[in-house]
Chains A and B, each alone.
Chain A
Amino acid sequence: MNLVAVPEPPSSDISGSSVIEGSSSTAVVSIVSASKSFGPVTALDGLDLSIEKGRISVLLGPNGAGKTTAIRMITGALSPDTGSARVFGLDPAGPDGQTVRRRCGVVSAKPSLYDRLSGWDNLRYAAELYDLGRGTSTDGRIREAAAMFGIEGSLDHQVGGYSTGMKTRLALSRSVLHDPDLLLLDEPTSGLDPESAFAVLELIRTMTREGQTVLMCTHLLLEAEGLADEIVVMQKGTTLLAGVPDELAADYWPTPQVRLSSPDHHALESLRNETGVTKVELASGSAVVDVDDHDRIPQLVAALVAAGAPVTGVVPFAPTLEDLYFAVRRDRGDSEGQDDIRPPEELSGRPARTLPEAA
């Protein structure tokens, strides 16, 4: 049901340039105008990305947006064709790449585990590659990392027999084994039960409180909403929008909105004359009203009641990340890949939001 057009967003938000240009010396990751192609396929197309220290940044975007390529570029696993990538002030694809990679913990979209080895051997392998060495202190560190994700009881078993959730938890354990400064998580809660997913998100919060930086890709907008200090919406290898979710939403929807439902069409229309009302969009049985302040809402309800109109619904609009994400993508006139983004109602069971929708 199309109720109202998405307000024109400020141009600076869409480009994301306000965030990029504002990147300071605390930026752990700084990718500038990076492009990367694989034959005829362009994975990144002038990507700008700045990740601040101690923050949780979430990359959002449909499949093929370039999220995984961006993560691979951060560790130096891939180098940009043009543009530059700096991580901890170093070039990850250059001679300093080893230093960068030692300070990064990565969880790939697929767990990337050795099925024929036990969980313990998988973690030990990582410990040795990350120069933790062998010995009792490393063994203790392995047990500690496994316990963080509740997988310590299965370390002796061959990974090939693990469930998907167990594999994800083992991959998460492996990523934090060497106490990385930067954690790069590509769909980290994929395949996890709700309790485990919650534990992972809590751990991510804890890590950032301890000064670590997290960059996470996810399709779960609800998950991102509760977690992200900053979001980066990517599309076709470039940044569509970047910034703090609340600030972006406030810029995108500068005036409060409320949907008032009543069968009295005339009463709804007469709301245009109320003080503080800047816009009224009428639909069958309801109206979306823009007001200059949330405090006007009781006044509007009172006006409808005074006009003898039965009020069947009052829904103030508090934009979520989901609203923002889809609004931005609709505004760009691109709905490709939306199917792989799961709106929050799929997770929470609450009804889909009807405000705002593009005309």
Chain B
Amino acid sequence: MNWSRTLTVARTDLKQLAQAKDFWLPMVVLGSLFFVVFPGILLLTITQIGQVDVIADISDTLDVLPSSAQEQIEGQSPEGRTGYALAVFLFAPVAVVIPLTISTAVGAATIVGERERGTGEFLAHSPAGVREIYLGKLIASLLPGYGTTVVGFTVYSMIVNLTVGPEVGGWFFPTAQWWVMILWVLPPFLAICLSLVLRLSARVTSTAAAQQASGLISLPLIMIAYSQSTGALLGSGAIAIWLGGLAWIIAIVSLNRGVRSVTRSRLLGVASGM
């Protein structure tokens, strides 16, 4: 295993992505909408328009949250409590959905794309091992999604603190659970999703087929990640840590099995039963 080659494969893939404006522009738009525009508008509306019935209604609905979640909510005014609840709990799934969506789109095209462009032939004849190629592709698929989340999350944190912070007594975000989710829960879910998507990408005959099939695979995973991350944020920190640990175990097993899906004959596009 030569990590230098792995990183070379990843770096080259990322460089190609950076050249593909038609790919990263929608990615930036998607991230901006869900991390900046929608939360910004919603939180500004709640905190700036004052005491209205709608906010009171939303504030009332906070009663349905689990007691562990309710205990976390800070702020005295309805605006502050509502803003806090929305900032911490409502947008949690976004941090999961965005990276999974972006990484799935990148990962689906990565191996079949080599085959379609004919560059799989170059890789197949090169000294790079299939494990190095697989991991390089995995990193190149994971980073755009996770990177978008980290950048988006940073911007989102600033927006949340600037809009809701004054209502709850200062900067409060990210909360401990958010840190656990971003650093501990999200990465293994990404890895599980990508291990499946890369396997698909190695087997299908076209990028279009890979995109379609990976959508079918990633959608249930996204829903699971959505529900689990929400639960992790609503529940205690221990749940999130246990959930993340379980996801890491599944991810490692899945990644290890996924290596076998990349073969030189598949890079060439001549493997029977692809």
Residue numbers of A with Cβ under 8 A of B are 38-39, 72, 75-78, 98, 101-102, 104, 106, 108, 110-117, 121, 125-126, 128-131, 158, 174, 184
Contact = CB atoms under 8 A, between A and B. Distances in A.
B126 A101 contact: yes
Nearest to B126: A129
Interface in B238-274: 264-265, 267-268, 270-273
B125 A106 contact: yes
A77 B121 CA distance: 9
Interface string B70-112: 0000000000000000000000000000000000000000000
Contacts of A131: 2, 5, 127
A39 B272 contact: yes
Contacts of A126: 122, 126
B23 to A, nearest CB: 10
Q: How large is the interface on B (under 10, 10 to 19, 20 to 34, 35 or more residues)?
A: 20 to 34
B127 A78 contact: no
A36 to B, nearest CB: 9
B20 A129 contact: no
Contacts of A111: 118
B154 interface: no
Contacts of A128: 4-5, 8
10 contacts: A38-B270, A72-B124, A75-B125, A98-B127, A106-B121, A117-B16, A117-B19, A128-B5, A129-B5, A131-B127
Nearest to B272: A39
B116 to A, nearest CB: 11
A112 B119 contact: yes
Nearest to B264: A77
A110 B121 contact: yes
Secondary structure call for the B interface: helix
Contact of A108 (B2, B4, B122, B272): B122
Contacts of B122: 106, 108, 112-113, 126, 174
Contacts of A102: 127
B46 to A, nearest CB: 44
Contacts of B126: 101, 126, 129-130
A114 B119 contact: yes
B125 A38 contact: no
A75 B122 CA distance: 11
A115 B268 CA distance: 18
B125 A129 contact: no
A299 to B, nearest CB: 57
Given A77-B264, A114-B12, A117-B16, A129 B272 contact: no
A311 to B, nearest CB: 56
Contacts of A104: 125
A116 B8 contact: no
- In the A-B complex, the 8 residue pairs with the smallest Cβ-Cβ separation, listed nearest first, are A112-B122, A77-B124, A116-B19, A128-B8, A106-B125, A110-B118, A77-B264, A102-B127
A116 B16 contact: yes
B129 interface: yes
Contacts of B271: 38
Contacts of A121: 12, 15
Contacts of B124: 72, 75, 77
A112 B268 contact: no
A38 B12 CA distance: 31
Given A77-B124, A108-B121, A112-B121, A38 B272 contact: yes
